[in-house]
Amino acid sequence: MSEECEFPTVNSNREEIKAMFEATKTIAVLGLSPDESKASHRVAKYLQSVGFQIIPVYPKGDAILGEKVYRSLAEIPFAVDMVDIFRKAKALDAVADACIARGDVKYFWAQQGIVNNEAAGKAEEAGMKAVQNSCTMVEHKALF
C-alpha cells in the first residue's frame, strides 16, 4: 500500500474534534505558506478570523498573516495547543517527535490527504489526540 493511500487507523471522532477546538487557543501551522492561493494560507486565515492565535512555522519570511514566523516548533517560546500540519506524510514522524519534545502540544492534526498512522500513533501514545486526513477549516465550519 502506498503512503498516499494509507487509511487513517488512528483518528479522533467528531465529539473529540469539537472538544479540541473548544480547548484550543494557539495553533502552530506547519507549512503555512505566504502564498494566498495555497490551502495552508486560506485555512490559517480562516482559523485566525474565528479567534485562534495562529503561529506560522515556515522556512522563510518574517511574518505571515501579521504573525511572526518561526522556523521550527522548538523555536516557539510559548504554549502551543494544536499543531496543524501541511507537510508530506513522511515528514510527520519528525513532527510527532518535535511535538513530544515540546511537551505542551495537545492536538496533532494532519490536514486533508495526509496520513501517517505510525506518527499519529506515536503522538497519541505521548498523550496527544490525533486527527488525520481532515481539514481544520472544514471541520470547524461544520461544527460551529
Model confidence at 69: pLDDT above 90:
yes
Q: Using one digit for the tens of pLDDT, what is the confidence trace for 22-50?
A: 999 999 999 999 999 999 999 999 999 99
Please name every residue paired with 55 in a beta bridge, in sequence order, or none if there are none: 28
**Domain range summary for the chain, segments of one domain joined by +:** 8-143
The CATH class given to the 8-143 domain equals alpha beta
Model confidence at 64: pLDDT above 50:
yes
Please name every residue paired with 30 in a beta bridge, in sequence order, or none if there are none: 57, 85
The rounded distance, in Å, linking the Cα atoms of 105 and 78 is 11
Q: Which residue has the cell 460551529?
A: 144
The rounded distance, in Å, linking the Cα atoms of 24 and 22 is 6
The rounded distance, in Å, linking the Cα atoms of 56 and 83 is 10
Average pLDDT over every residue of 43-59: 98
Model confidence at 1: pLDDT above 70:
no
This model's pTM is above 0.85:
yes
